[in-house]
Amino acid sequence: MSWRLLISLSLVASCSRPAVRAPTDDSSPEYLDTIKVEGNRKLGDNRLVTGLALRRTQKRGRALDPYVIQLDADRIRGEYLREGFFGIAVQSRLERKGDAVTVIYAVDEGARATTTVEIRGIDDRDLNEDVRALVKLRDGAPFDYAVYDAAKRPLLIAAQNAGYARARLEASVYADRAANVALVRLDYDLGPKCTFGNVEITGVSSELAAAVRARLRFAPGDSYSTRALIATRSTLYGLGRFSTVEVEPETSGLDAVVAVRVSLAESSRREVHFGGGFGIDPLGYEVRGRAGYLITGWPFVLDTSTIELRPAYAYLRTGEFQPRMRALARVERQDLFWTEGKGTVEGGYKYLSVEAYTTYGPRARLGFGTPLGTPRVHLEAGWGIERLAFRNISPLIDPALQMELGLDRIARIGTYMQTVSVDLRDNPVDPRRGMYLELRTVEGTRLAGGAFDYLEVIPEARGYLSLHTLVLAARLRVGAIAGELPVTERLFSGGASSHRGFGERALAPTVSGIVDGEVRHVPYGGVALVETGVEARIPISSWRKMGIGGVVFLDGGDVTNTREQLDPFDLHWAIGTGIRLKTIAGPLRADLGYRLNRTGLEDPSPGSRFAFHISLGEAF
């Protein structure tokens, strides 16, 4: 007899019994005080009691109903059946003490059934191995209905990914109570092995339709695969031009050739956005605004043009008010040179204050990005030039240091930039396993139109390991610059996404002194950097369907004036803890770091032990 049939008979029997109901008016003297379960060793009290109807009776102080007591006994029995305890027996009894009644369920669990898996209808040896690998229940292992139920959909998709587009799967569980065995039977009707046929694209035309066709992850004649359909849908959404993407195969017939319809709806071509906010940083308080205009398909079909303005007004801790501003105009071209190649042309102007100075001037950039054979490997390359002037130089930066840093003259910086990244993470926003590798190089050269010759190299590695619900994450980032270095390119560490024992940009070569009767520390950056860190990410609970988690971390790092001064065995170290709220935009996090060493007068942020950070997105 099948397990599902056993449960059905049990419920019918209880339903056919005449319902003897106790009075339910508020005048009833008795009330339900406690619900207890006895004899349960394998399943905990919370799991068995939480979903019982008697809990509502208890909360409302209502009189007991024998009908509900019996239904809840069947619910407890059902929990055990789903775990493979086919010999489960549940008896109920009442204990009274005055007007208070305790309902006690006595459980005789019996032995848990073991699993036997039988796969029928597959002659394809490779597919048979794939299916067995997906069945998490091994022969002889304890039966678990939740594991079996979760595997049914992937088991069907495995057949479809092997080319059997019209495959059908009937999965069932048979309970052999005498042998205490749960027989999991997977009956496949594979149908013919299929290939992709004609692809019809609707909703777009001309050059945009050609861009869509070039992004299909399959072609007519290829072996059918659900994986290819999902990858196509993801790639088309990544183009950023569509509000709806449907990639639907025609699987209702019996033909071995499967046609596909790609239905698209373009998103709005024009977008105007406004925003604002309030920020606190080591310099002071800042009110920010943001306004932008975006138009897709202009000046050409595959182009996206953007104009953006980010004004701000800051009140510095020195008592000064200071404007800040960034303006940017950008045109991005999809499918430049080849499919998924993206070109960028941008120009802008910035007026920006940092601890040591205020810089302002125009900038321009040309960029190109493309995957290298796979979406997981990406190349970015570009040329940039900017002309920067300086003002509001900190009084702690004396004339000799100003000259050394180049703050006494206009800086013209021309660079060539390259970044190669390898992303093997399971989820870029909230990774649980995998790794991310990146190498960034910048060559400042007179050949690029600048007045400086230098080389900057920054490699980075991140790794993630999932241990059940816990995630361990680690990173290492190093950097070095050689040559004639412009002050705006110097290296800094410290902050929510680097070293959490320091404030933003505070871990760097620094000058200290008294200004207007107050001690101030002004970082001006270095030429060599190392950052490392490890953290454990721990789920705690949830709130309004958003996960809540905590972290504990250890961060280390240093930034020095010369490469020779950088000692990887004498880093600044900090431990800390934090909390995460997982929103749709990424984890909203708050972290508190505590410095363990190097807090003397000769170190950055001397005497400061704690740093608090609020940010969006994981630290790495």
More confident residue, 321 or 289: 289
509 and 370 housed in the same domain: yes
Q: What is the pLDDT of residues 248-262, one digit of tens each?
A: 998 777 889 999 999
381 and 467 housed in the same domain: yes
Average pLDDT over residues 518-539: 94
Question: Do the Cβ atoms of 538 and 549 come closer than 8 Å?
Answer: yes
Whole-number Å distance between alpha carbons of 207 and 213? 10
Q: Is residue 373 part of a domain?
A: yes
258 and 164 housed in the same domain: no
The pLDDT score that the predictor gives to residue 5 is 27
577 and 491 housed in the same domain: yes
Whole-number Å distance between alpha carbons of 488 and 472? 35
Q: Is residue 212 part of a domain?
A: yes
Lowest-confidence pick of 22-31, 265-274, 497-506 = 22-31
370 and 486 housed in the same domain: yes
519 and 580 housed in the same domain: yes
Residue among 452, 510, 458, 508 at smallest CA distance from 485: 452
What is the greatest pairwise CA distance in the chain? 98
Q: Which residue has the tokens 């309970």?
A: 175
Q: Is residue 345 part of a domain?
A: no
DSSP per-residue string spanning 143-164: P-HHHHHHHHHHHHHHHHHTT-
Structural domain of residue 214, as residue ranges?
Answer: 195-266
Q: Does residue 142 have a cis bond before it (omega within 30 degrees)? A: no
Mean pLDDT of the chain: 89
241 and 377 housed in the same domain: no
**CATH number for the domain harbouring residue 35:** 3.10.20.310
DSSP per-residue string spanning 299-348: SSTTEEEEEEEEEEEEEETTS-EEEEEEEEEEEEEETSSSTT-EEEEEEE
More confident residue, 59 or 167: 167
* pLDDT classification of 27: cutoffs 50, 70, 90: very low
Q: Is the pLDDT of residue 288 over 50?
A: yes
16 and 71 housed in the same domain: yes
Q: Is residue 22 part of a domain?
A: yes
590 and 543 housed in the same domain: yes
Average pLDDT over residues 95-112: 91
Question: Do the Cβ atoms of 355 and 522 come closer than 8 Å?
Answer: yes
Using a 10 angstrom Cβ sphere, with 0-12 exposed, 13-18 middle and 19 or more buried, the burial of residue 572 is buried
Which tokens go with 284? 């002071």
H-helix or E-strand spanning residue 404: helix 399-405
* pLDDT classification of 535: cutoffs 50, 70, 90: very high
pTM listed for this prediction: 0.77
476 and 414 housed in the same domain: yes
Q: How many domains does the chain have?
A: 4
Q: Is the pLDDT of residue 484 over 50?
A: yes
Residue among 553, 550, 559, 579 at smallest CA distance from 480: 559
Q: Which of 238, 266, 294 is the last residue of a domain?
A: 266
Q: Which of 85, 108, 131 is the last residue of a domain?
A: 108
The pLDDT score that the predictor gives to residue 230 is 93
Q: Which of 108, 137, 159 is the last residue of a domain?
A: 108
Using a 10 angstrom Cβ sphere, with 0-12 exposed, 13-18 middle and 19 or more buried, the burial of residue 128 is middle
CB atoms within 10 A of CB 447: 10
CA distances from 503 to 356, 472, 605, 608 (A): 15, 24, 9, 10
489 and 380 housed in the same domain: yes
